């Protein structure tokens, strides 16, 4: 006896296999950024979200008050445990706090070459003084972690910090994307949200080519966690769509999908308290 249709559907649900996306980043108690926001983005992409905390903060939508990097050994244990036992199909790396954590994550990534990595590069908060990545860690980020990335996402200030040169215009964003791709990263997305242009223009370097991804600029005011959320949407989509092989077509599709979803979330950003608004899906 094969059972009723409802029984068969129930059995299929019990046997369902979801891909996991693992975020490595800061814990924002206010939920607007960091791994809490990453998990919302993973769910929007259809992936099962996992998170390892590299940085503990005291912050809210009103700003960042304090940040403390988790010891590298503790971070390694968190990430290794999830990678060992769960079907992680994509990694998203956000704020790491310390040089030791950058190097620890690079070693972990090196040990799992089949897992695509999206590296976001938060260094300073939108509001607040504490750093999300210590200044001396920039070299390790450039030389140890970025070369292992399927995609690196940077805003204009982060691109400038990594290159030591101003990045203000679309032409300079093209140059920055090419230069950062020269680290060995498979692809680099320079985000143009803070660029003084009529539309929002992101610049993608991939496969020796540089293309512009354009969207209508939204007058939405300050929104928390936009950068980490975009990177997590991309990583979540990769986890669901790549199927073990990340080719250029899948990567570009993931980026374009994430930008559409992100743009929609920006348009309906919500007020959850004082200060910046937050993204919801």
Please give the torsion angle defined by the CA atoms of residues 217, 220, 221 and 227, in that order, rounded to the nearest 10 degrees.
-70
Number of structural domains the chain divides into: 1
Instruction: Name every residue whose Cβ is closer than 8 Å to that of residue 41 and which is 6 or more positions away in sequence.
Output: 229, 232, 233, 236, 281
CATH of the domain at 87: 3.40.1190.20
Note down the domain range covering 155: 18-267
On whether residue 57 sits in a domain, the answer given is yes
Q: 36 has which bridge partners?
A: none
Mean per-residue pLDDT over the chain, rounded: 93
On whether residue 149 sits in a domain, the answer given is yes
On whether residue 8 sits in a domain, the answer given is no
On whether residue 237 sits in a domain, the answer given is yes
Instruction: Name every residue whose Cβ is closer than 8 Å to that of residue 85 and which is 6 or more positions away in sequence.
Output: none
Q: Give the pLDDT of residue 76.
A: 98
On whether residue 273 sits in a domain, the answer given is no
Question: Over the stretch 13-38, which tens digit does the pLDDT of each residue have?
Answer: 666 889 999 999 999 999 999 999 99
Please give the torsion angle defined by the CA atoms of residues 159, 30, 238 and 70, in that order, rounded to the nearest 10 degrees.
70
Question: Over the stretch 98-115, which tens digit does the pLDDT of each residue have?
Answer: 999 999 999 999 999 999
On whether residue 9 sits in a domain, the answer given is no
pTM value is 0.93
Burial class (CB in 10 A: 0-12, 13-18, 19+), 5: exposed
pLDDT-above-90 percentage for the chain: 85
On whether residue 136 sits in a domain, the answer given is yes
Give the DSSP per-residue string, 155-213: -HHHHHHHHTS---SHHHHHHHHHHHHTTT-SEEEE--TTS-SSSEEEEEEETTEEEEE
């Amino acid at each position: 006896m094969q059972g009723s249709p409802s029984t068969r559907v129930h059995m299929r649900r019990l046997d369902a296999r979801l891909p996991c996306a693992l975020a490595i980043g800061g814990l924002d108690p206010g939920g607007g950024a960091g791994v809490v926001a990453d998990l919302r983005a993973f769910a929007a992409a259809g992936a099962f979200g996992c998170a390892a905390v590299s940085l503990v903060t005291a912050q809210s939508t009103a700003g960042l008050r304090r940040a403390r990097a988790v010891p590298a050994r503790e971070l390694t244990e968190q990430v290794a445990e999830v990678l060992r036992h769960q079907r992680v199909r994509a990694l998203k790396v956000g704020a790491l706090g310390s040089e030791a954590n950058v190097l620890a994550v690079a070693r972990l990534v090196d040990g799992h070459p089949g897992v695509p990595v999206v590296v976001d590069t938060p260094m300073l908060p939108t509001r607040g003084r504490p750093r999300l990545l210590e200044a001396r860690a920039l070299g390790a980020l450039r030389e140890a972690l970025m070369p292992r990335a399927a995609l690196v996402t940077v805003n204009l200030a982060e691109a400038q910090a990594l290159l030591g040169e101003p990045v203000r215009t679309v032409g300079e964003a093209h140059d920055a994307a090419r230069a950062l791709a020269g680290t060995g990263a498979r692809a680099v997305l320079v985000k143009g949200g803070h660029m003084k242009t009529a539309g929002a223009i992101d610049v993608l370097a991939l496969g020796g080519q540089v293309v512009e991804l354009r969207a209508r600029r939204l007058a939405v005011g300050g929104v928390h966690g936009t950068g980490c959320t975009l990177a997590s949407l991309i990583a979540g989509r990769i986890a669901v769509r790549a199927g073990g092989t990340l080719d250029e077509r899948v990567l570009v599709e993931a980026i374009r999908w994430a930008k559409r979803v992100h743009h929609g979330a920006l348009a309906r950003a919500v007020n959850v308290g004082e200060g910046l608004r937050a993204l919801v899906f």
